[in-house]
Structure 1
Amino acid sequence: MSLDPTAAPPAPVRRIDADDLPPWPQHDHTERAALDRVLAQGQWWRAAGTENEDFEREFAAYNGAPRALAVTNGTAALELALRLHGIGPGDEVVVPAFTFISTSLAVQNVGAIPVPADVDPETYCLTPDAVRTALTPATRAVIPVHMAGHLADMHGLGDLAAEHGLALIQDAAHAQGGVWDGTPVGAFPTVACYSFQNGKLMTAGEGGALTLPDEKTYEQAYLMHTCGRPRGDTTYQHETGGSNYRVSEFTAAILRAQLARLDGQTRIREQRTALLDALLAEVPGLRLQARDPRMDVNPHYMYLVALDPSAGRAARDALVAGLKAAGVPACVNFPPVYRTGSFQAGPVPTTPVPELAERCAVAEDLGAHGLWIHHRVLLAEPHVVERVATVVAALAARAGDPVVTR
């Protein structure tokens, strides 16, 4: 990084043209036909239509799960999963310190206390050891996040949860179709929660889902997602607590179309990620999210990069600004959850923020020095990915300098 005011100005960075990157969301005649199908069906809500049940069957099969349930969004999916396990006021739930706020927010929305734990410095996922250090007599559940599509160690976390009698709930918002050590994300004997928000790997603008490990859990989830009302009820027999988490038939139909192309997109993103990793691995001052050898299929929700901590937060911010100016869709990383107003507005652990920060050094580092690049870059042609790598490397070498594009 050059701070010499007499130094020659940096050479212009060649901008990535908008047409070089695939659009997101992607759609074609399949989505149009799906919407027409719902219109022709004449029933737009799940109680009378068929699209929800068809989508749930297809999504469960794709993720290796016995059952699936469509809901309004990923946050609602997490809340419903917590309610399914009876988590509520006074209970503690271990969550990663480095994650989108919905992971902790869902815990607080059911009245429980999220307890942040640090993540692995290589994969950025929650580890059994980190969870173990955060346990207290009040701990009732653990929510690992499959960060950017890379699954947490579900075998190790499953063993720990069984040892301590804890509910294990997967936050799989980034990980539709992920496979860990031969096991698809939905095949683990836990509830997993997914998001279909506009930027996700498959989307209807909004939406979410749970995959469920058995029929009994599915039936309970179904009741709770529809105000406790069983199928076919016409006399208001609300059998359990819950809320209205239902999605329309239009949403389900769009998601069926999106799911049909997800497998092909995942294969492309795997190939392009390997290419981008190879191109950026030796760039001085850059750190990339690592891949555990047990990670068989990573759908790559986003591409994570971090600057060396010695560069400082300002250098990271300048790099993100430079990438945007050069046409690369990028954003700063999530801050540690305990550093947000949202976290502080709900039930919180008694541990003060400075102590949490000391315990969560990796999350602090990633929040201050990390960034992510949107997964549509990973759907681009190889020559475009190579140009993106050139832009990243050039800007990383002079983070903080004025950005000139051409």
Structure 2
Amino acid sequence: MSSQNLEFPQWPQFGDEERVGLMRALEQGQWWRIGGNEVDLFEEEFAGYHGAQHALAVTTGTHALELALQVLGVGPGTEVIVPAFTFISSSQAAQRLGAVAVPVDVSPDTYCIDVAATADAITPRTRAIMPVHMAGVVSDMDGLGKLAADAGVPLLQDAAHAHGAEWRGKRVGDLGSVAAFSFQNGKLMTAGEGGAVTFPEAEQYERAFVRHSCGRPRTDRSYLHRTSGSNFRMNEFSASVLRAQLSRLDEQIETREKRWPVLSALLARIPGVVPQGDDDRCTRNPHYMAMFRIPGMTEERRNALVDALIERGLPAFAAFRAVYRTAAFWELAAPDESADDIARRCPVSEELTRDCIWLHHRTLLGTEEQMHVIADVVADVLGRS
């Protein structure tokens, strides 16, 4: 098997669009958002692309979550329901505000938050429910929307994996709830770091703007800081790169949407391999990761398998660890129960912690022939392990 067959497109991708944007930002002479134009224009373009009324660009995806939760009233004495299987930022964004993150289990098919488990976790202290659109699969926004409306608890979509995703033909910014995005180096569009929050209401956007700028209104000249906040402002250079990245996103999504059904079917033919499932109501999946499980595999064997895949040229990774299985989860605003207590109600997340693998989305920008090569490598390495 030729190593050339595994020479996938590099990530991040860039070209003259990014170069022109960086020079444009440089030459305007103002490199922060208050004096420049790039961040404002990016926010307008990003909001429009996602069907949102408003978008606020920020420093990181983690900060996007934290800021959004603060706008929704999350703080000490409140709880935020999060999927147990997710990147740690989903829980830490709530915990750093003094709120208790309450992990619940996920679907064994899509790996997205389970609606019934979420319903069971709601208490009078619940202030937000945070579905994570895992690897680009949109969570069950029908079930979650009804649950949130009945309970009077807002949704905050963690859309770090879901740039350009659609649920029933609507982009995630057009689903009536706040959504947070990440532009970290591995994400579907990137400036190395960065984030954004989309809002359905102008009042939410304005409150978020003040908080992301140290509590200072946009036109303030007298340091009349209106509320607590931090400096989450995006700079002009990052915004100029992200404007270019946004312009190439549709073409990349179209390629990945063609490649994943091919790869998924090939992986499913390998004994013991189960690819991540989808939801027919998710009408556009941008495929942040190519995820699959090997049920029954131990964590140690899974990790060794990932190492072997990397040695064979695949950009492979062990999947996320359930958030309650990390030391970080227990440092701030920890729930009044043990990790084993939580694990008993999160059996799927426990399994995913042990047996799930993901491939970087740049593999899905490869050729259809390369999808066959990927499956052959997975089958060969698994057979040898």
- Given the two structures, how large is their TM-score scaled by the length of structure 2? 0.98
Q: Please tell me the root mean square deviation across aligned C-alpha atoms, in Å.
A: 1.2
Alignment check: 8 A CA contact 1:15 1:327 kept = no
Alignment check: 8 A CA contact 2:210 2:217 kept = yes
Alignment check: 8 A CA contact 1:16 1:388 kept = no
| Aligned pair partner of 2:366 in 380, 384, 392 | 380
Aligned to 1:346: 332
Aligned to 2:381: 395
1:198 equivalenced with 2:185 (yes/no): yes
Q: Distance in 2 between matches of 1:316 and 1:45?
A: 45
Structure 2: tracts of 5 or more residues without a match: none
Q: Distance in 2 between matches of 1:16 and 1:285?
A: 26
- Higher mean alpha-carbon deviation, 231-240 vs 248-257, is at 231-240
Q: 1:277 to 1:92 in 2, by over 3 A?
A: same
Q: SS at 2:283's partner residue?
A: strand
Aligned to 2:66: 79
Alignment check: 8 A CA contact 2:288 2:360 kept = yes
Aligned to 1:403: none
Q: Distance in 2 between matches of 1:48 and 1:312?
A: 54
Q: Distance in 2 between matches of 1:352 and 1:344?
A: 9
Q: Distance in 2 between matches of 1:15 and 1:167?
A: 51
Aligned to 2:104: 117
Aligned to 1:174: 161
Q: Distance in 2 between matches of 1:188 and 1:49?
A: 30
Please state how far the C-alpha of 1:192 moved relative to its aligned partner. Answer: 0.2
Q: Distance in 1 between matches of 2:158 and 2:90?
A: 7
Structure 2 letter corresponding to 1:353: A
Alignment check: 8 A CA contact 2:317 2:358 kept = yes
Q: SS at 1:232's partner residue?
A: coil
Please state how far the C-alpha of 1:183 moved relative to its aligned partner. Answer: 1.7
- 5 Å matches for 1:28-47? 28-47=15-34
Q: Distance in 1 between matches of 2:281 and 2:287?
A: 15
Q: Distance in 2 between matches of 1:21 and 1:53?
A: 34
Alpha-carbon deviations, 1:138-164, whole Å to 9, x = none? 212110100001010112111111111
Q: Distance in 1 between matches of 2:73 and 2:193?
A: 26
| Aligned pair partner of 1:213 in 195, 200, 204 | 200
Aligned to 2:52: 65
Q: Distance in 1 between matches of 2:182 and 2:168?
A: 23
Q: Distance in 2 between matches of 1:169 and 1:313?
A: 31
Alignment check: 8 A CA contact 1:170 1:192 kept = yes
Q: Distance in 2 between matches of 1:380 and 1:281?
A: 19
- 5 Å matches for 1:271-282? 271-282=258-269
Q: 1:350 to 1:16 in 2, by over 3 A?
A: farther
Structure 1: tracts of 5 or more residues without a match: 1-13, 400-406
| Aligned pair partner of 1:315 in 301, 307, 311 | 301
Alpha-carbon deviations, 1:319-372, whole Å to 9, x = none? 211110000001101111001011011111112111111110000000101111
- 5 Å matches for 1:276-295? 276-295=263-282
Aligned to 1:145: 132
Bigger CA radius of gyration: 1
Structure 1 letter corresponding to 2:73: G
